[in-house]
Amino acid sequence: MSLITYLDAICEAQAHALRDDPRVFIYGQDVGAFGGAFKATKNLAREFPGRVIDSPISEDAMVGLAVGAAIEGMRPIIEMQFADFSTVGFNQIVNQAASLFWRTNVSCPITVRLPFGGTSGGGPFHSQSLETIYAHYPGLIVLTPATVEDAYSMLIEAVAIDDPVIFCEHKFLYRHLKVEKLPSEALPIGKARIAREGRDLTIVAYSAMVQDALEAAGELATEGWEVEVVDLRSVKPLDTDTVMASVSRTGKLLAVGEAFPWGGVTAEVIARVTSEGFELLDAPPQRLNAKDTPIPYHPNLWAAHRPTVRSIGAAARKILRH
């Protein structure tokens, strides 16, 4: 039996949505007969004729069209070829889609899929993590699945949600993660997950960084440290309760994200824990992000630019020894 990858799960979730709901369609560059740059829509155009549609290279108009279709009662899924290119459609996402319900009381059920995050050799314009920017805007839901199971169940749920969803799917995880079968039940969107239990330190992470944090936690276990890893699953809404409950058990916090360091999800996590649970902390909370430069191309530079198992381990040891 062949294993199911994170990418397969995304393709299968879309097939599920298309099968289940005649209002769903997919629109994006090369998504039709070609099956998408990453093959996330492989065979879907054949299976669902007229509902998996190639768009021109026009991110602004792609999202605008989705908003119009959503007003008309459809449930479009937009595939951005790379998250980086969604900045061309940024205006339609943050000003049109995100403001529609607040302004008019008409909801805007669109899902924008962003293949994001670093892979070796991607360089400055095919590697970015944009969850922070979208999470800043009222009216958007921002999801960051870290597992095959979540990629599947959260994408199905995203399409069913009546509000605009930014679905951040990590390109490194596409073929890296594999499972034997897809889940029939899942935690609902909005709930974080304890990916590994521990009592000495809480590492809060999301998307690919959960996998790196788990690996770091495994190494730290051989040194006698029990590290808890919280997988946020969605960065907006952010499940502060689960994070606070974990920190109340461990007293120590490290927030890890792949995005640029200024502001962002890790800063938000630390701000919330510090202001709402200062007394729970036994050491200053720390955050670990990418460096404050564009993302480098060469693997040597790239590996030094973003958090890694090694740098997560080092940051964790520093807090643990406090």
Partner 1 sequence: MRARLLDEKLAALYRAGKIHGGVFLGRGQEALSAALGINLTKSDVFAPLIRDGAGRLAFGESVLDAVRTCLGSSLGPMRGRDGNVHRGNPQAGYLPMISHLGAMISVVNGVLFARRMKGITGIVGATCLGDGATSTGAFHEALNQAAVEKLPLVLVVADNQYAYSTPTSRQFACASLADKAVGYGVAAHTVDGTDLTACLKVVGGAVADARTGKGPQLVVAKLLRLCGHGEHDDANYIDPKLKNSPLGRDCLKVAEENILQRKWADAAQLAVWRSEAVREIEEAVAQAQREPAPDPFAQDWSALSTRHLLEGNG
Q: Active-site residues: which are they?
A: 126
Residue from 91, 248, 308, 311 binding partner 1 (CB under 8 A) = 91
Residue from 67, 213, 255, 312 binding partner 1 (CB under 8 A) = 67
Answer whether 205's CB lies under 8 Å from 232's CB.
Answer: yes
How many alpha carbons lie under 13 Å from residue 77 in its C-beta half-sphere? 35
185-195 as b/e: b if 16+ CB within 10 A: ebbebeebbeb
CA angle 269/270/272 to nearest 5° reads 70
Query: Binding of partner 1 at residue 47 (CB under 8 A)?
Result: no
- List binders of partner 1 among 269-288 (CB under 8 A): none
**Span of 56-64, 146-154, 173-181, 253-261 interacting with partner 1 by CB under 8 A:** 56-64
- List binders of partner 1 among 148-177 (CB under 8 A): 161-163
Token couple for 317: 């040891």
- What is the Rg, in whole angstroms, of the alpha carbon atoms belonging to the chain? 19
Burial of 81 (0-12, 13-18, 19+ CB in 10 A): buried
Residue from 5, 55, 202, 242 binding partner 1 (CB under 8 A) = 55
What is the x/- site pattern for partner 1, positions 121-140, by CB under 8 A?
-----------------xx-
- List binders of partner 1 among 182-211 (CB under 8 A): 189-190
Q: How far apart are the first and last CA of the chain?
A: 48
The binding site for partner 1 (CB under 8 A) comprises: 25, 50-51, 55-56, 58-74, 76, 88, 91-92, 95-96, 98-107, 138-139, 141, 161-163, 189-190, 236-238
